[in-house]
């Protein structure tokens, strides 16, 4: 029996609510720890659970700052104050570009072992297989599935409505999905999905559980939860910083 868990390091959508952090998650099996997305504020929260020295890899979905802005700060931590070898970073070319822009020589590969991934890439880290799928979002954005043994977690990253969750496969143990919008805040100019759409996608892939994340500050979380429950008959929960979901 394998087990996979996801611990929320931050889950505010677009920018962080007071006292909160943007997107970041710690995905763990018995032997492998992945930091998935590193939005502002998540490095502090990561250390409540694991030291930078003990991460097996950092996986970043796209180069919007609410998902990747800790990377130059992680570089500083690795360079000056931690005793670790290079940190493996699986991400898009865009994330590498914006991170390198912070480096005085324009190249952070002395400390980051960059592994550029794209639509349909697959990588293995420890005992976790990661598969990537490009979503419907203004910059190259990769949703991902994490599989260990017979358990799997799908993470939508950011997406608009024109990307099907089934591109990641079927029957995940859990979907961690962005539910940025509601029926009343839905707006075609905002490149995200509403909770009802997310829930119906989770139903289509026959997910066992759904965790809704990336809710913007000042949006009523209970409305997001209620709308997700309308279109998904399994367990639906809201992401909350510090909470862990185990499958």
Cα dist from 97 to 7, 100, 119, 142, 148, whole Å: 28, 5, 18, 16, 30
Nearer to Zn ion, 64 or 197 (CB): 64
Beta strand pairing call for 112-116 and 87-91: parallel
Q: Which residues are at the interface with Zn ion (CB under 5 A)?
A: 64, 158
Closest distance between Zn ion and the C-beta of residue 88, in Å? 23
Closest distance between Zn ion and the C-beta of residue 208, in Å? 27
Closest distance between Zn ion and the C-beta of residue 132, in Å? 15
Nearer to Zn ion, 151 or 192 (CB): 192
According to DSSP H, which parts of the chain are helical?
Answer: 42-46, 65-68, 71-76, 93-100, 195-204, 221-230
Q: Please tell me the distance from the alpha carbon of residue 201 to that of residue 176, in angstroms, as a whole number.
A: 12
Closest distance between Zn ion and the C-beta of residue 167, in Å? 18
Cα dist from 8 to 37, 81, 212, whole Å: 11, 25, 11
């Amino acid at each position: 029996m394998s087990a996979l868990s996801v611990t929320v390091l931050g889950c505010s959508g677009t920018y962080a609510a007071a006292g909160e952090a943007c997107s970041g998650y710690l995905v763990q099996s018995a032997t492998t720890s992945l930091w998935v997305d590193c939005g502002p504020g998540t490095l502090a929260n990561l250390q409540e659970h694991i030291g930078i020295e003990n991460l097996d890899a950092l996986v970043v979905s796209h180069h919007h700052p609410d998902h990747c802005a800790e990377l130059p700060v992680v570089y500083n931590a690795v360079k000056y104050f931690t005793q670790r070898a290079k940190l493996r970073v699986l991400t898009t070319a865009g994330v590498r570009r914006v991170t390198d822009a912070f480096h005085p020589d324009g190249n952070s590969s002395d400390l980051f072992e960059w592994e550029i991934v794209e639509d349909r890439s697959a990588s293995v880290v420890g005992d976790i297989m990661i598969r990537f799928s490009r979503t419907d979002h203004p910059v190259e954005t990769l949703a991902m599935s994490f599989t260990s043994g017979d358990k799997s977690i799908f993470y939508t990253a950011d997406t608009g409505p024109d990307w099907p969750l089934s591109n990641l496969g079927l029957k995940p143990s859990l979907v961690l999905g962005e539910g940025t919008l509601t029926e009343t805040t839905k707006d075609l100019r905002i490149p995200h999905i509403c909770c009802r759409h997310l829930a119906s996608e989770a139903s289509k892939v026959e997910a066992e559980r759904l965790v809704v994340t990336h809710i913007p500050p000042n949006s009523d979380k209970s409305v997001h939860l209620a709308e997700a429950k309308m279109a998904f008959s399994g367990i639906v929960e809201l992401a909350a910083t510090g909470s862990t979901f185990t499958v």
